[in-house]
Amino acid sequence: MRTLLILVVILAIALIVGDRVGAVFAQKEIAGHIQSEYNLSAQPQVSIDGIPFLTQALSGSYGKIDVRVGDWTVQKVSVHDVDVALTDVSASVSDVMNGRTSAFVAANATATALVTYDTVKTYAPSEVESLSYGADGLSVKGSFPVGGVSVPGTVIVTVTPTDDGIEITPTSVKTLAGGIPIPLASVRKSLTFTVPLKQLPLGAKLTSIQPGAQGLKATATAQNVHFSDVPVSK
């Protein structure tokens, strides 16, 4: 009986080790090919969720695959902390082991990224001096033209995902005490601008933008993602 128990333990350990080795190998293959296909400067971190891995591999179906890309540049817009969560991924064992990521299909993809305020400012009008997030929301400080005079003030703005990117729109104006009032209509015309970030990795389109202390957190989603149909971002 003791010998049988030892054999069972050894077999269990072998299965666990084999399962983890298979998962690590698959993650490395996926990471390497994503780096190559998207011209990334560094290899992304890939994590295939779920245990055992071998059961998922044999079935060709994975509940969730997380891809941590890090920095990402698309259409000359640089973003940071890019993470992509793929759910209900279909991929055969041979495709995974041979790194054929083009054959993968994900039912859903959700990507998040941080757009720093320094990046946003590069697309803002020259009157803008800084952007920050506080109790009143996202505010823009600068000096704005009023009747031919440059008047310092703070403009509260909203951020919205559009087909053209992240649109920044003024909603209210604060002027310095005793200063010249700045009409909202005038800054709305001159201070409405767009950061041309239209999508995140795997063709995910922007669905929400949340201002925060460090910048704008962009969230993008896509459904029925066929990796073979996803264009390589430049």
| Ranges of each domain in the chain | 2-115+200-208+213-229, 124-195
User: For the chain, how are helix, strand and coil distributed in percent, rounded to 5?
Assistant: 30, 45, 25
Beta bridge partners of 55: none
In whole angstroms, what is the distance from residue 196 CA to residue 173 CA? 25
Return the C-alpha torsion angle 76, 81, 85, 91, nearest 10.
70
In whole angstroms, what is the distance from residue 121 CA to residue 87 CA? 34
Q: pLDDT tens for residues 159-207?
A: 999 999 999 999 999 877 667 788 888 888 889 999 999 988 888 899 9
Q: pLDDT tens for residues 16-70?
A: 344 455 566 667 767 776 777 666 777 888 887 766 666 666 677 778 888 888 8
User: Is the confidence at residue 5, as pLDDT, over 60?
Assistant: no
**Helices and strands of the chain, counted as H and E runs:** 5, 12
Instruction: Map residue 222 onto helix, strand or coil.
Output: strand
Instruction: Taking the CA atoms of 95, 96, 97 and 101 in sequence, report the sign of the dihedral they define.
Output: positive
